[in-house]
Amino acid sequence: QCYFFTIEFGLCKQEGQLRAYGAGLLSSIGELKHALSDKANVKTFDPKTTCLQECHITTFQEAYFVSESFEEAKEKMRDFAKSINRPFSVYFNPYTQSIEILKDTRSIENVVQDLRSDLNTVCDALSKIN
């Protein structure tokens, strides 16, 4: 549900105005108009309650969730993900644009090796500037 009400039907504020960032809203003019109208039930985005909201695929949503900013929505999702009790951690690999499961020493060492390489590149660039 969190995916559905953010990536598909997410709303956020920008310069005090309600804006849509969800692909489902941006691709449906009817639902977009409804979500931004006074008829829509717009609630503050909180992943713990958003994940309980029922999703509809054939009618307009019963509720939409708004964040103060897109950045706030990302931070709330990150905090929520950290609160999930699981026996592993995850890492977003920007090169493959995929999520990797960090479940053992080897997978963690691979991430550390990539980070070291990136830091060496940045340090080299800094040394050339100075």
Please state the rounded mean pLDDT for residues 107-119: 95
First vs last Cα of the chain: how many Å apart?
A: 49
Residue 130's pLDDT band, with cuts at 50, 70 and 90, is confident
Confidence (pLDDT) at 58: 93
What contacts 89, CB < 8 A, 6 or more positions away?
A: 101, 102
Between these two residues, 25 and 95, which has the higher pLDDT value? Answer: 25
What contacts 23, CB < 8 A, 6 or more positions away?
A: 7, 8
Mean pLDDT of the chain: 94
Q: Is the pTM of this model over 0.75?
A: no
Q: Is 75 marked as a binding-site residue?
A: no
Query: pLDDT tens across 27-60, in order?
Result: 999 999 999 999 999 999 999 999 999 999 999 9
Percent of the chain with pLDDT over 90: 88
Confidence (pLDDT) at 49: 96
Confidence (pLDDT) at 56: 94
